[in-house]
Every structure is written in structure tokens, then in C-alpha cells.
């Protein structure tokens, strides 16, 4: 089993205070996020589950997937969810040059804008680095481009092929609280666990009086 913190350590949040890890709220709100889509095999199902609970979420889209599936991308927006930049090709900040990373991020932003329906008027400055990997220099450059870098404080582990669906559910149920930003993936790799976990998370927290909101900063 891979090791990674399900709950983001306080030290990490302290070391990178310019990144958004969670929200301070007085209401019982949770912020579900979905990375790596949109794809036809998963994203429409996610939208259906969210609609069942009138839940809003934030989708950090890969630009290349948006180009391939613009109809699904626009369905996300039509359902009232937020969109965010996840780079054009899901690039790893620790493995490419700074120039390549920034240009790939800008290209994704252009793709998000160019694939909007004429009736849509959605803009985004939300950015999530693939793999959660970023450097201080890249963070500064992105923020100078007016991006707000959205991280998380609960990592579901739905991407982890060695993790059971039951453990994935426990990860979310045990660590999520008001103001939490929770990471899921609308990807083929995560789909099996997502079909088990997402409906149960929506039901569990709805029964406790929570609502699910999109990120709009």
C-alpha cells in the first residue's frame, strides 16, 4: 500500500500558507473536488450522484480531456459546479521545466475558455497541481497570473489500487469536517471505489445536516 497522509499535516499547511487547504466556515459545509476529468465513463455518473443530493462540487479538469469531451465539460458547468485548471496534460511539476509547467497551465486555461458553449459565461482562476506537487517558485508564478491554488485537507485515496473501497470510505468519513476540501477523481482508475464511496459520503453527511458547496474564490 502506498503511504500518503489522508489528513494534510498541520506542518505542511504552515509551510505553504499561500495555498488553500481548507475553509474556515460557520456553517456545516463540505467542499468535494474531482480531479482528472472530464471523461464519458465517469463524469456523467458523478454529476448524477451529486444531483441526487443537490450537492455542488468543483471539477479540476485536464485540458486535453476537455478538448476530447467538451459536451461533458459544459454539463459540469450547466449543473452549477465550479471548474478549475489541472494543466493541459496532467504534468508533474517536479519532472518538467518551470517554463513547460507554466505554459501547460496557460494552455489549459485557454482550453477551458475556448470550449465553453456560447451561452456559458464561466471563468476560473482555480488551480490544482497534478499529484499535489508544486514548488515555491511555481506557486509564486501561478499566483502572479492571478491563480488561487487549491489543495485539500482530506485525500480519499480513490486513486490507490491497493486500497479497498471500504478503507477509502473510512478515510473520508473519519477525517472530513466543516470546511474540509476533499479530493476524489472522476477517472477510470478511481471509478470502482468511487461508485462505492461517493453515494455513501453524500448520504452520510447529508443526514448529519451538511451541505456540499462549490469553490468560487
Mean pLDDT of 71-75: 96
d(CA 122, CA 113): 8
**CA distances to 168, 181, 206 from 200, in Å:** 11, 17, 10
Q: Quick check: bond before 38 cis, omega within 30? A: yes
List, in order, residues 6 or more apart from 19 with CB less than 8 Å away.
13, 134, 139, 149, 150, 151
CA distances from 169 to 80, 154, 166 (A): 25, 12, 5
Q: At 217, is the pLDDT very low, low, confident or very high (cuts 50, 70, 90)?
A: confident
Helix 136-144 and helix 98-114: axis angle, to 10°?
40
All domains of the chain, ordered by start, with CATH?
10-212 (3.20.20.370)
Enzyme catalytic residues: 35, 185
- Cell triple for 72: 461533458
pTM: 0.96
Paired with 212 in beta bridges are 30
| pLDDT (tens digit per residue) in 103-119 | 999 999 999 999 998 65
CA nearest neighbour of 80 among 117, 112, 120, 29: 120
The predicted structure's pLDDT at residue 120:
62
Answer positive or negative: Cα dihedral of 28, 82, 35, 79.
Answer: positive
**pLDDT tier for residue 4 given thresholds of 50, 70 and 90:** confident
**In the structure grid, which three cell numbers stand for residue 204, read together?**
452520510
Whether the pLDDT of residue 101 is over 70: the answer is: yes
Q: 154: part of which helix (H) or strand (E)?
A: strand 154-155
pLDDT at 94: 96
Q: Report the SS3 class of residue 161.
A: coil
Residues 124, 114: Cα–Cα separation, whole Å: 13
12-46 per-position pLDDT tens digit: 999 999 999 999 999 999 999 999 999 999 999 99
The number of angstroms, rounded, from the C-alpha of 129 to the middle of its chain's C-alpha atoms is: 10
Amino acid at each position: 500500500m502506498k503511504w500518503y497522509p489522508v489528513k494534510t499535516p498541520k506542518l505542511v499547511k504552515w509551510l505553504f500558507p499561500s495555498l488553500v487547504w481548507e475553509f474556515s466556515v460557520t456553517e456545516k459545509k463540505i467542499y468535494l473536488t474531482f480531479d482528472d476529468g472530464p471523461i464519458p465513463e465517469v463524469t456523467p455518473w458523478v454529476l448524477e450522484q451529486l444531483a441526487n443530493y443537490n450537492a455542488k462540487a468543483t471539477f479540476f479538469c485536464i485540458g486535453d480531456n476537455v478538448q476530447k469531451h467538451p459536451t461533458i465539460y459544459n454539463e459540469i458547468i450547466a449543473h452549477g459546479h465550479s471548474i478549475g485548471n489541472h494543466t493541459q496534460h496532467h504534468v508533474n511539476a517536479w519532472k518538467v521545466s518551470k517554463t513547460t509547467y507554466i505554459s501547460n497551465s496557460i494552455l489549459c486555461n485557454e482550453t477551458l475558455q475556448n470550449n465553453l458553449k456560447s451561452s456559458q459565461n464561466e471563468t476560473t482562476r482555480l488551480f490544482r497541481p497534478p499529484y499535489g506537487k508544486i514548488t515555491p517558485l511555481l506557486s509564486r508564478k501561478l499566483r502572479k497570473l492571478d491563480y488561487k491554488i487549491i489543495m485539500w485537507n482530506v485525500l480519499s485515496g480513490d486513486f490507490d489500487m491497493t486500497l479497498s473501497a471500504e478503507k477509502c470510505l473510512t478515510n473520508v468519513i473519519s477525517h472530513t469536517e466543516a470546511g474540509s476540501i476533499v479530493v476524489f477523481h472522476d477517472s477510470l482508475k478511481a471509478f470502482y471505489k468511487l461508485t462505492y464511496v461517493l453515494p455513501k459520503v453524500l448520504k452520510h453527511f447529508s443526514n448529519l445536516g451538511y451541505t456540499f458547496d462549490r469553490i468560487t474564490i
